[in-house]
Amino acid sequence: MIKFCSLYSGSSGNSIFLSDGNTKVLIDAGLSGKKIIEALCTIGENPVELSAILISHEHSDHIRGAGILSRKFDIPIYANEATWSAMEKWIGPVNVKNKIYFETGMEFVIGDIGIKAFSIPHDASEPVGFNFFMHNKKITTATDIGHITKPLLENLIDSHILLLESNHDVEMLKVGPYPWMLKKRIMGDWGHLSNETAAKVVAYLAEKGTKRFVLGHLSRENNFPELAYQTALNILNEKNIKIGCDITLDIALRDRVGNVMVL
């Protein structure tokens, strides 16, 4: 049985739980260790049983609790070499046996789960999304995306569950409180994915056969869940794709545990 749940997802912190029934992993650990432990307990999971923490990139909303959890529960942390170099001074000491390196673009295995880390366009050292392969299913997480590329889309296709960034509403961002340089960064090719672009990707992948989508990494200041959902709904309706019939669409919440998805 596959169990997938966003514990937290947003500009203030990210962590996702995934299990194939035996192997249990976290994708990112961008909140305090205490909050992540509490979130795991909420969904009936024990942090002692975690096999690994995978890190997508070194920004604080993805690594804040990684070192704490590794030290407390003796959990290996997996990241590529560039990400390790960028984050090591921020997460504190990690036992050498728990410092695991993967190579972006190459497949590797943790327990019973096959994993591929693929490149994403974002302003970090070597940011990645993840494909997970188990029980003849493919689960994908992809956030912090500046723009969509053909290789990126190829990694998203054929996912049975896809968590995709839907970070901001462009108009909210433009009139919001952020300084102009930060707005330019977010809207730029190495920033974050807008609601409209995310919705178009969902529609494209739905036409290719993906059935279960989760919109994540919503901005606190420049988005809200109802708007991200409605934007996707509008574009899906234009394609005659019906939520609840053709696909399911969930929102990964910024400040609390999301829905547990089971395959």
Rounded distance, CA 200 to CA 89, Å? 38
Element (H, E) at 197: helix 195-208
Q: By the 8 A CB rule, do 9 and 61 touch? A: no
CA distance between the termini of the chain: 6
* CATH number, position 43: 3.60.15.10
Q: By the 8 A CB rule, do 118 and 155 touch? A: yes
pLDDT of residue 145: 98
Q: By the 8 A CB rule, do 26 and 50 touch? A: yes
Q: Which residues contact 137 (CB under 8 A, 6 or more apart)?
A: 2, 160, 161, 263
Q: Which domain holds residue 258?
A: 3-262
Rounded distance, CA 58 to CA 56, Å? 7
Full-model pTM: 0.96
154: number of Cβ within 10 Å: 10
Tokens of 179: 């300084």
Rounded distance, CA 211 to CA 72, Å? 37
Q: By the 8 A CB rule, do 63 and 28 touch? A: yes
pLDDT of residue 11: 85
pLDDT of residue 92: 97
Flag residues of the chain having pLDDT under 70.
none
Exposed e or buried b per residue across 81-95, where buried means at least 16 C-beta atoms within 10 angstroms of its C-beta:
ebbbebbbeebeebe
Tokens of 24: 């249990």
Q: Which residues contact 255 (CB under 8 A, 6 or more apart)?
A: 8, 10, 12
- Beta bridge partners, 108, equal 115
Domain count, the chain: 1
